[in-house]
């Protein structure tokens, strides 16, 4: 049974309007996404900037209202929950953002930041809450003595730990991690990735791990979904990523990741030109065709559907 | 044949005098680059890579101060030049590409105007000639419709296009040295791959020496001929790229290399370095990596280890690395 299921999710934004412009563009940030997440699974969501991966994350935690489509959590539809029901859902699904600096209030102490969800949901008495905050700090590898410090007294990596502690406070089942390590230094990145791994084991969490970094995603995820211009183009088990990726875009992404081995440098070719097109006016047919090294006539005319090509392996491409 | 270096930096020390004390951002750094070669300067944020590059160009402003050192380009010491002389050198002999092209391009001038101005301010050419050269440059860095782009403002371009325009401008006067400070960090991987390929092609064409500053070991492996690993304001390891990646001598380099998730190798658990880089404020004169070092012994708390050769063209600033290597060299 899947923990989370998304069906035909669409989010369009009105953009570029403004007072003086007659026509308004519709940015198709998420344009018909269906996917599911099993309990205890980590699903990696990769793609270039502007592909809609963060929007999808926000839709799942209900921070954005979808234009169309449905979201199910534990077989219960949560797409239009509101009021007390939505509040209840917040205990189950949490999110961690990319920038640890801007997602913490600089005028709150760490104790009150992590304790806020507890206070909001009236979990236990004051003293018990304080106890729980210390415990959370310890869980994420921070000194409980620092409970009354302010965010500016911590480094980026420590702030991200505070964000994680806050997300854990209400004992959620699913955490959406939106680029949690992208703004961190190399040596700190692995600390956080390892922490997320350990927490998953300890608290039986499920993650949706959003990142543009294929290598980081493949370190944590069980399955990887690749997004391009608002659509999922390939979903496959992490183990098959390097050898079994079918979609030309996935292969292009893989080829573009620099490998930390100087002897391999000349094995690499640039296989894609240009940058992703504007999501307000996606190309007709397959959205990747203008950049695709293998595009044919059919790719320009007809949009491919996501079809199963192997076990737990879906591809949206005419050629596979 | 190993040539004369075009740029040689010797014992550069740059400090920032703040209310809280002296920040030793660059603490005695020396390196050299040859024409047509790339030196990768790697390190985490705050290790002094950017301050090093700004020091080379004389762009350090109060409260920053270059305490000592020499930066020799063409036999001249850049650090003893006047501002007027430096203006002649910047752009013409040595130029800079920064991480965020949006902040380094002038938002109210067209791309064309900015490149043309760069050329006219250094060379006696007509505007039409400069314009033609700007056109050629934009074509060379792989930008489509150069004619149209010359009339565009930076905000009308995408991130990748801006960075290409920046590179075009930096190479407009065929400088001998190009400093590229995290040139692809803000870009998507596919665009990064394009820009790196472009940089390498232009480097061969103009025989430019590149100092590539980055935190990404993959990018270094891809681009550099030599690597200098910086930690807390000093170079802790310096050598040929294959030597450093395959036989890293410094525990920090080893840990960095081990902590990068890689696609070409399946690995269950990555090791991570405990703790975080030290504050550069009032750093004591000893090994800066000591508090995080997994192989530290008693003698490591002595004075700061200096770079010593452990192999030909491979230097490491670590007591342990030198000792291990010395033992290996001893005949049994």
User: What pLDDT score was predicted for residue B12?
Assistant: 94
Q: Express as a percent the part of chain B with pLDDT over 90.
A: 43
In a domain, A56, yes or no: yes
CB-based contact, A267 to chain B, within 8 Å: no
Q: For all residues of chain B together, what is the average pLDDT?
A: 88
Nearest residue to A161 via CA among A96, A77, A87, A235: A96
Residues of chain B found within 8 Å of residue A280, distances taken between Cβ atoms? none
Interface test with A, best of B215, B272, B277 (most A CBs within 10 A): B272
At which residue do the structure tokens 């530290």 appear? Answer: B296
In a domain, A124, yes or no: yes
In a domain, A320, yes or no: no
**Are the Cβ atoms of B217 and A255 closer than 8 angstroms?**
no
User: What pLDDT score was predicted for residue A24?
Assistant: 67
Per-residue pLDDT for B221 more than 60? yes
In a domain, A33, yes or no: yes
User: How far apart (Å, rounded) are the C-alpha atoms in residues B224 and B241?
Assistant: 6
Is the pLDDT higher at B250 or at B324? Answer: B250
User: What pLDDT score was predicted for residue B275?
Assistant: 79
Per-residue pLDDT for B325 more than 80? no
User: What pLDDT score was predicted for residue B128?
Assistant: 93
Question: How does residue B144 score in pLDDT terms, banded at 50, 70 and 90?
Answer: confident
Rounded to a whole number of angstroms, the distance from the CA of A289 to the nearest CA of chain B is 15
Residues of chain B found within 8 Å of residue A275, distances taken between Cβ atoms? 158, 160-161, 188, 190-191
ipTM for the assembly: 0.85
In a domain, A69, yes or no: yes
User: What pLDDT score was predicted for residue B332?
Assistant: 45
**Are the Cβ atoms of A190 and B261 closer than 8 angstroms?**
yes
| Shortest CA distance from B224: residue in chain A | A262
In a domain, A10, yes or no: yes
Contacts of B83 (CB under 8 A, 6+ apart): B58
Give the residue ranges of DSSP H helices in chain A. Answer: 53-60, 83-92, 110-120, 126-139, 156-168, 186-203, 214-220, 241-244, 248-256, 297-301
Q: Give the domain CATH number at A60.
A: 3.40.50.300
Question: How does residue A280 score in pLDDT terms, banded at 50, 70 and 90?
Answer: confident
Range of the structural domain that residue A189 is part of: 2-315
**Are the Cβ atoms of B245 and A260 closer than 8 angstroms?**
yes
Give the tens place of pLDDT for each residue, B78-116: 988 988 888 888 888 999 998 877 788 899 999 999 999
Can you tell me whether residue A265 is helix, strand or coil? helix
Contacts of A245 (CB under 8 A, 6+ apart): A234, A236, A251, A254
Rounded to a whole number of angstroms, the distance from the CA of B239 to the nearest CA of chain A is 13
Interface test with A, best of B101, B141, B188, B198 (most A CBs within 10 A): B188
In a domain, A223, yes or no: yes
Domain count, chain A: 1
Per-residue pLDDT for B326 more than 70? no
C-alpha to C-alpha distances, A214 to A75, A217, B260, nearest whole angstrom: 30, 5, 12
């Amino acid at each position: 049974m899947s923990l989370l299921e998304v069906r035909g999710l669409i989010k369009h934004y009105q953009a570029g309007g403004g007072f003086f412009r007659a026509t308004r563009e519709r940015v198709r940030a998420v344009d018909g996404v269906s996917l599911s997440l099993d309990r205890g699974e980590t699903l990696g969501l990769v793609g270039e900037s502007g592909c809609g991966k963060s929007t999808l994350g926000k839709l799942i935690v209900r921070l954005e209202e979808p234009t169309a489509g449905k979201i199910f959590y534990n077989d219960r539809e949560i797409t239009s929950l509101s009021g007390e029901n939505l509040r209840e859902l917040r205990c189950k699904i949490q999110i961690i953002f990319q920038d640890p600096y801007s997602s913490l209030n600089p005028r709150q102490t760490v104790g009150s930041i992590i304790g806020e969800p507890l206070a909001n949901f009236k979990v236990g008495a004051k003293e018990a809450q304080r106890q729980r905050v210390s415990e959370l700090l310890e869980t994420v590898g921070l000194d409980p003595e620092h409970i009354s410090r302010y965010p500016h007294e911590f480094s980026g990596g420590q702030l991200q730990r505070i964000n994680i502690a806050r997300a854990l406070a209400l004992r959620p089942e699913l955490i959406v991690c939106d680029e949690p390590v992208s703004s961190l230094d190399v040596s700190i990145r692995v600390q956080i990735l390892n922490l997320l791994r350990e927490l998953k084991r300890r608290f039986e969490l499920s993650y949706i791990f959003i990142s543009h970094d294929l290598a980081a995603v493949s370190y944590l995820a069980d399955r990887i979904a690749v997004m391009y211009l608002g659509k999922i183009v390939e979903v496959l088990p992490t183990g098959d990523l390097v050898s079994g990726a079918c979609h030309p875009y996935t292969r292009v992404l893989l080829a573009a990741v620099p490998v930390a081995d100087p002897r391999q440098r000349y094995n690499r070719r640039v296989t894609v030109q240009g940058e992703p097109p504007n999501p307000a006016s996606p190309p007709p047919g397959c959205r990747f065709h203008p950049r695709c090294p293998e595009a044919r006539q059919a790719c320009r005319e007809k949009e491919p559907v996501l079809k199963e090509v192997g076990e737990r392996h879906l591809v949206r491409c005419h050629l596979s | 044949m190993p040539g004369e270096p075009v740029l040689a930096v010797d014992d550069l020390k740059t400090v920032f005098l703040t209310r809280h004390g002296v920040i030793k951002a660059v603490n005695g750094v020396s390196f050299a680059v040859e024409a047509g070669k790339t030196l990768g300067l790697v390190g985490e944020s705050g290790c002094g890579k950017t301050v090093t590059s700004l020091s080379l160009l004389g762009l350090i402003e109060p409260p920053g101060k270059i305490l000592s050192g020499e930066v020799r380009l063409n036999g001249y010491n850049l650090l003893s030049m006047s501002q007027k002389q430096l203006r002649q050198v910047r752009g013409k002999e040595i130029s800079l590409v920064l991480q965020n092209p949006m902040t380094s391009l002038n938002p109210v001038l067209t791309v064309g105007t900015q490149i043309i101005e760069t050329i006219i301010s250094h060379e006696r050419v007509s505007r039409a000639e400069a314009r033609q050269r700007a056109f050629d440059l934009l074509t060379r860095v792989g930008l489509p419709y150069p004619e149209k782009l010359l009339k565009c403002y930076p905000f009308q371009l995408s991130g990748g296009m801006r960075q290409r325009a920046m590179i075009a401008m930096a190479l407009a006067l065929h400088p001998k040295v190009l400093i590229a400070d995290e040139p692809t960090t803000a870009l998507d991987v596919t665009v990064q791959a394009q820009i790196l390929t472009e940089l390498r092609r232009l480097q061969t064409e103009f025989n430019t020496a590149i100092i590539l500053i980055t935190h990404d070991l993959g990018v270094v492996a891809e681009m550099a001929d030599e690597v200098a690993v910086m930690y807390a304001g000093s170079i802790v390891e310096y050598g040929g790229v294959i030597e450093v990646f395959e036989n890293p001598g410094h525990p920090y380099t080893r840990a960095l290399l081990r902590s990068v998730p890689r696609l070409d190798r399946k690995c269950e658990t990555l090791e991570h370095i405990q703790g975080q880089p030290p504050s550069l404020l009032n750093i004591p004169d000893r090994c800066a990596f000591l508090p995080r070092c997994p192989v530290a012994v008693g003698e490591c708390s002595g004075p700061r280890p200096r770079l010593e050769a452990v192999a030909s063209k491979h230097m490491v600033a670590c007591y342990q690395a030198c000792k291990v290597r010395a033992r290996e060299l001893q005949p049994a």
